[in-house]
Amino acid sequence: MADFRLNHEGTGMLFTERLILRKFMISDTYDMYNNWAADKEVAKYTLWKVNESISETRSILEDWCMRYDSSQYYHWAIVFKENKQVIGSISISGINNCLKSCNVGYTLGRGYWNLGIATEVLKAVINFMVNTVGIQKIYAYHDIQNPASGRVMQKCGMEFIKRKKKIFLSGSRPFIDCDYYCFSTK
């Protein structure tokens, strides 16, 4: 009988032309704080809140690093090969093993925007989740005031599903309008 289960491998290393995707380490605290976590502009349209101190960033990283024991935890640090800095993150959430679906979210430091980097990263992660793990649908959404993120989704072959009005996401900007996208293998 055929085996229809997903082939979970956890956060392994992925390589693209300009980037290395790998597990976060506690020693990434400085890069994460300086490149994106303390930047209000980067956090403007994200679920996470801007970090107030480097110790806050460190404790977030401690939490993330503990989760790598699970083979169903996918959360990559994005390393820019040129300068070896950690410049952002990309993660998978909401895995549904029966429907073979999940969500994806990403963040990049402001100094690295509009260079095609998020597109390069998302393509690599979609490829891994589909061809190695066996995921069939990958969902993502973005605040409609953040069209650059939607453009990344489009460039990665995700298709627009619908606009959802005034959904509740977080305490700081509770009700926002979002566009939903999906990458589907069928």
Ligand X SMILES: CC(C)(COP(=O)(O)OP(=O)(O)OC[C@H]1O[C@@H](n2cnc3c(N)ncnc32)[C@H](O)[C@@H]1OP(=O)(O)O)[C@@H](O)C(=O)NCCC(=O)NCCS
Residues that bind ligand X (CB under 6 A): 42, 45-46, 106-108, 113-119, 142, 146-149, 151-152
Q: Is 86 exposed, middle or buried (0-12, 13-18, 19+ CB in 10 A)?
A: buried
Report the distance separating Cα 132 and Cα 16, nearest Å. 16
Residue nearer to ligand X on the CB measure, 75 or 142: 142
Least separation in angstroms between CB 181 and ligand X: 10
Structural tokens at position 124: 């690599």
Least separation in angstroms between CB 179 and ligand X: 9
Residue nearer to ligand X on the CB measure, 41 or 62: 41
Least separation in angstroms between CB 110 and ligand X: 8
Residue nearer to ligand X on the CB measure, 6 or 153: 153
Report the distance separating Cα 119 and Cα 155, nearest Å. 7
Report the distance separating Cα 110 and Cα 55, nearest Å. 21
Least separation in angstroms between CB 170 and ligand X: 12
Report whether 153 contacts 132 (CB < 8 A). no
Residue nearer to ligand X on the CB measure, 72 or 146: 146
Tokens 């693209």, residue?
16
Q: Which residue is nearest to ligand X (CB)?
A: 118
